[in-house]
Amino acid sequence: MTIKEIQEEIIDEFSMFEDWMERYEYIIELGKSLPLINEAYKLDENLIKGCQSKVWLHSELKGDTIEFTADSDAILTKGIVALLLRVFSDQTPKAILDADTDFIDEIGLKEHLSPTRANGLVSMVKQIKMYAIAQQSKLAN
């Protein structure tokens, strides 16, 4: 699936919920289903700067796509990162760099987070894009 198709699927899923309590519960469930990150990647260099809670994000080039793994010590944040990985993992660096993140606004996520969590969300997206730039340069060589 393309990034856009995945984003549209997420928008459809969120539109099924009546209120934000149900959406939060759904995000928490996503976090519980996030595959465990290898403990070897829980390093300071993989911590996302600007997050209130600890979020580790690791990227690995698999062929011409990037596979992301992540973890967080906060259950809601873990769900948010699971949502982002669903969109961006197993995509090419170019697709990640070309992708917009309008779906975050369309599902109303940013406006329903505390300012520090919203900043953390922006930091996660920035880090995913930074990894895509780094991995794209490997492909170019």
What is d(CA 14, CA 57) in angstroms, rounded to the nearest whole number?
A: 24
* Catalytic-residue membership of 51: yes
Q: Are 107 and 11 in contact (CB under 8 A)?
A: yes
The single residue listed with the structure tokens 């829980």 is 42
Please, what is the angle between helix 75-88 and helix 3-15, to 10°? Answer: 140
**Number of separate helices (H) and strands (E) present in the chain:** 6, 2
Q: Which among 3, 51, 109, 128 is annotated as catalytic? A: 51
Q: Which two tokens stand for residue 33?
A: 């289903």
What is d(CA 76, CA 29) in angstroms, rounded to the nearest whole number?
A: 9
Kindly list the catalytic residues: 51
